[in-house]
Amino acid sequence: MTWGIALVASAARGLCRPTRRTTADLTRNFYTRSKYTPRRAVLYVPGNDRHKIENVAKLKVDCAVLDCEDGVAANRKICYKLQVHLQQYNLSVKVNLILYIESAQGLINLREICSKGIDKSALGSFQLDGIVFGSDDYIADIGATRTKDASELIYARQKIVTVCKAFRLQAIDLVDIDYKDLDGLREQAVAGARMGFTGKQVIHPNQIPVVQDAFSPSPEMIEWATELIRAFDEQQESGQ
């Protein structure tokens, strides 16, 4: 499991200039980054709730995010205490950054944001791993109405997936706030996986297994991939 702290990309200013990149540049970025860290389910945990923070370790979730966007003063204290707690176990802190896109301007500037993030990653400041779609703030920003099938978000979701994959980044899909409707959640998660998203945001522990299952490869897919690797290795050894 990985920990994160909720950060929002300041994309509205549009200060990032695009960088021309070749396929070789993007491929090199993919293979030189650190070991792939799955984030099938990204669980938000209130940064000022000590009990919930301590219970996260018991959950089998890929990634837990301390929500420090609201109540900053109190949350800073909690985040500091968490850091001290981690240090007791000699755990090093490595910043693998996930940026949030939650406005129309942010979506327009997404390519430039990813490009700048990759450039900064090369300097060692942090490692940009992916983009999270803040769908509810985005809907409020464009004045849309949220529907169950999320049809009003098709364009935004497709663009996020496309740009993320162009830069070899993870794409984290929207959150389903109706945490009691697990059937609806499963349908939405499967749809997101088919679109190309690599994970999904969750707000309740009961959502974790449903989402992580939807974003896991099927036994048939694993068998296919294993056979493909075996065939490739045999071809390399034979030289044919």
Average per-residue pLDDT in the chain?
Answer: 81
Query: Within 13 Å and on the Cβ side, how many CA atoms surround 53?
Result: 21
Tell me the pLDDT tens digit for each residue of 189-231. Answer: 999 999 999 999 999 999 999 999 999 988 998 999 999 999 9
- What's the whole-number mean pLDDT along residues 59-87? 64
Tokens of 165: 């994959």
Residues 6+ apart with CB under 8 A from 115: 16, 18, 19, 21, 167
Tokens of 239: 């030289």
- Going from the C-alpha of 48 to that of each of 41, 69, 71, 131, 177, the distances in angstroms are 21, 11, 8, 24, 20
Domain residue ranges of the chain, discontinuous segments joined by +: 2-238
pLDDT of residue 238: 83
Residues 27 and 11: their CA atoms lie apart, in Å, by: 25
Tell me the pLDDT tens digit for each residue of 121-152. Answer: 888 778 899 999 999 999 999 999 999 889 99
Residue 3 dihedral angles phi and psi, to the nearest 5°: -105, 150
The listed CATH number (1.10.1470.10, 3.30.2320.80, 3.20.20.60, 3.40.190.10) that belongs to domain 2-238 = 3.20.20.60
Return the SS3 of 169: coil
